[in-house]
Amino acid sequence: MTAAEFLVNPGEINKDTKSFTLDGDEGRHAATVKRMREGEVIHLCDGQGSRAIATVVKVHKHSLDLTIDQFTFEEAPEPRFVVVQALAKGERAELAVEMLTEVGADAIIPWRAEHSIGKWDSVDKGLEKWRRTSRESSKQSRRAWIPEISNLKSTAEVCELMSQAQSVFVLHESADQALAACAIREQGTIMIVVGPEGGISPDELAAFSAAGARVVHMGASVMRTSTAGAIAVGGLLMRSQRWS
């Protein structure tokens, strides 16, 4: 059986940590839901590269006392994949974040696109939902690095961010160039823009092209906003050193 994994705060574990108390929400979940027992082995991760294998030495009502058996640090992977994800309707947005996290996206930028059907009544609540989804998906997929979820961006703000990336691809069914035919870099940032259910508007396409992005397609199929980004990242990862 695979050992259960729990998240800790960044910096709480390091190479000198010999013992640790898992408390808070994760400790409560471990003690009351997972019903961990003395002698069981669990995994800890701080979401920023630090991981540890630990043994339960004592179980409290809402926490665990642990001894750290092994510590490792995983460097942030290269190239870095950043996905600009348009707000989507209902649960499709959370599905997109879940899939992007599992496949290996390193950062996800929520985008208020012109044709976005999904709206956030509260930006803070929307961001919290995306970040919670990413955290839980990171635990499930045993990622050492939890993807960064940025604040909600406008089209103009996305264009500004494009200057920081080495390669930018905008997914659109009308493109003449295929994503599969594009060369990718092994270092730096690769940005992928995923439009909403209503599609990327002509003005947005023009703005992105002016900012240096390449408009590309992924074959004849028109994919949902909830799945297109993950498929694009997965396709590029297969050609990178990260999946070699």
| Amino acid 221: pLDDT | 83
Mind listing the domains of the chain with CATH numbers? 5-73 (2.40.240.20), 80-243 (3.40.1280.10)
| Amino acid 37: pLDDT | 95
CA–CA dist 116, 144 (Å, integer): 32
Give the distance from CA 157 to its chain's centroid. Answer: 20
| Amino acid 1: pLDDT | 62
Output the pTM of the full model.
0.92
From 207, 236, 198, select the one nearest 86 (Cα to Cα): 198
Name every residue whose Cβ is closer than 8 Å to that of residue 24 and which is 6 or more positions away in sequence: none
pLDDT, tens digit, for every residue of 52-80?
A: 999 999 999 999 999 999 999 999 999 99
Q: Residue ranges of the chain with pLDDT lower than 50?
A: none
CA–CA dist 221, 6 (Å, integer): 38
- Note whether 81 and 192 are within 8 A (CB): yes
Strand 80-86 and strand 5-7: pairing? unpaired
Measured over the CA atoms of residue 242, residue 76, residue 106 and residue 192, the dihedral's sign is negative
Question: What one-letter code names the amino acid at 78?
Answer: E
CA–CA dist 32, 244 (Å, integer): 40
